[in-house]
Amino acid sequence: MKLKDLNVALKELDIPCGAIDLRGGLPDNAYCIDQIGKIWEPKKWEVYYSEKGGKYDSVFFDSEDEACEYLYRLAKGLEDSNRNR
């Protein structure tokens, strides 16, 4: 799964607006995905929770596919908890 595929898949889920951010950075109270690494290093992907300008619970991946799948599973969990309210 690539970012564009993840974006489409997320639109089909019933998750709170702003709970997932695919642009990276540090939005408040959102799960994020970001490509990281120096120019001379292999690119890695990071999925994390952003809150009040900080990154929490970072998980790192070697591929975009793995990172997107992981974030999708997180989003599915948010969808399930949103339905149970």
- Give me the residue spans of the domains in the chain: 3-35+42-79
What type of residue sits at position 5?
Answer: D
Per-residue confidence (pLDDT) for residue 82, from 0 to 100: 57
- Dist. CA 59–CA 12, nearest whole Å: 24
Per-residue confidence (pLDDT) for residue 79, from 0 to 100: 73
Within the chain, which residues score under 50 in pLDDT?
Answer: none
Report the first-to-last Cα separation within the chain, whole angstroms: 29
Per-residue confidence (pLDDT) for residue 40, from 0 to 100: 83
Query: What are the tens digits of pLDDT across the range 59-79?
Result: 999 999 999 999 999 999 877
Predicted TM-score (pTM) of this structure: 0.87
Per-residue confidence (pLDDT) for residue 77, from 0 to 100: 86
